[in-house]
Chain A
Amino acid sequence: MLLIEAWQFILANPGRFFGALATHVALSASALALAIAIALPTGVWLAGTRRAALLAIAAANIGRTLPSLAVLALVMPLLGTGFMPSLFALTLLALPPILINSYTAVRQVDPDVIDAARGMGMTRAEVVRKVELPIATPVIFAGIRTAAVQVVSGAVLAAYIGGGGLGDFITAGIAMMALPQLLVGAIPATLLSLGADRLFGGLQRALTPKGL
């Protein structure tokens, strides 16, 4: 049966498999971390501006519609193949959802609540820390969750530009019509993606303040 053959393939090639898995996780985690580091503070900051925000959000909305493989492919003539170009492309893909959600999350905090906090004597920094961010957290984490799934899925495609990862088994499997190898790539990639979704979904719930 195909599943058994796939399992045997892993047993016969542990180095290759775990190497690819490690690369996949490394690519995904790094891209997500970078995207969060860039987009989250920017989104929060943009919520306080007007003109800059409109431009940035419009750009992000366009960025969100771009086909993942197109973005990965466009990076190749510019940065070549390998881990770093893939990381660059995946980070780009992860930026829009986090930026848009961070911005929206802070914007939609009820002004009355902020007024109340100011009335209680909080400084601007305290308002951001104790009121705005906690209320904004669920929406921000929803954005991170979306980005995480996108990045893990995108990392599968990184195989096309030499980024390594589980996509290598899928492309090899298709090229050679070797179905077990195909599954060795496809099933773990799917499980990773589902896992990431579960993980960030759980974090989202855990970090939602009790009042919401």
Chain B
Amino acid sequence: MKWFLNNWDQVLAALGQHIVIAFSAIAIAFAMSLLIGVWAARHEKVFRAAITITGLLYTIPTLAFLALLIPVVGLGKANAIICMVAFSLMIMIRNVAVGIREVPREVVDAARGMGMSTTEILMRIELPLALPVIVAGLRIATVTVISVAVVAAYVNAGGLGTLIFSGISNDYAPKIWAGALTACALAIVADLSLAQLESWLRHRAD
């Protein structure tokens, strides 16, 4: 506890780095999954292929994935972000596609009957109605990415993991506490916030 109070700036810096890489990865994955998800929602084969490939990626152990990327992109933030995007894609593509597919056909038909174009239907009907499911996926992806970012410190991506690894190698418990507990707190806060958002969206859709 004393170490934490004396070095809270170090913890804050690590937390900042952690949030930056996590957020970048989520943003990239979100954009990609919207594009691929919408495409997959319309085409069964694409849906199945996307789920299979990204499902495979998701099963790869975090540290193994980061390690396998080293011969390709070396160490650093890029390595971490590629890994995090890959992990996020499965859940997010699936949720975007499933969310859109779950929009009742009658609603889409009614919109088309009113003269809306496909794009308009997508933007004003399908995506808004799919939002709760999409956010549910975003929630899981965010928690996953925060977890990966902890490990990614080992490939020089920065973040809260640096405190943990430093604490382990120097056998200095306060650093481990500071890094690990902050990471846990971050994950919990992110999960609860997105759960609230998801809940609010579901009630709004009803």
B residues near A160, Cβ cutoff 8 Å: 165, 168
Chain B, interface SS category: helix
Which residue from chain B places its CB closest to the CB of A196 in the assembled complex? Answer: B59
The CA of A70 and the CA of B181, in the complex, are separated in Å by 7
A residues near B147, Cβ cutoff 8 Å: 66-70
Contact of B67 among A71, A74, A77, A173 (CB under 8 A): A173
The CA of A61 and the CA of B184, in the complex, are separated in Å by 13
Which residue from chain B places its CB closest to the CB of A175 in the assembled complex? Answer: B154
> Given A77-B173, A182-B70, A193-B60, is A70 in contact with B184 using a C-beta cutoff of 8 Å?
yes
Q: Produce 1/0 per residue, A58-95, CB < 8 A to B.
A: 00011011111111011011000000000000000000
A179 adjacent to B71 (CB under 8 Å): yes
A73 adjacent to B164 (CB under 8 Å): yes
Interface residue? A174 (CB, 8 A) = yes
> Given A67-B183, A171-B154, is A73 in contact with B71 using a C-beta cutoff of 8 Å?
no
The CA of A190 and the CA of B66, in the complex, are separated in Å by 11
Interface residue? A54 (CB, 8 A) = no
The CA of A73 and the CA of B183, in the complex, are separated in Å by 11
Interface residue? B155 (CB, 8 A) = yes
Number of interface residues of A (CB under 8 A): 38
> Given A67-B150, A174-B154, is A74 in contact with B176 using a C-beta cutoff of 8 Å?
yes
B62 adjacent to A156 (CB under 8 Å): yes
A190 adjacent to B62 (CB under 8 Å): no
Interface residue? B99 (CB, 8 A) = no
Q: Which residues does A use to contact B, with CB under 8 Å?
A: 2, 61-62, 64-71, 73-74, 76-77, 149, 152-153, 156-157, 160-161, 167, 170-171, 173-174, 179, 182-183, 185-187, 189-190, 193-194, 197
Additional pairs, 7, CB under 8 Å, beyond known A160-B168, A193-B60: A66-B147, A67-B146, A68-B62, A74-B177, A153-B62, A179-B71, A189-B63
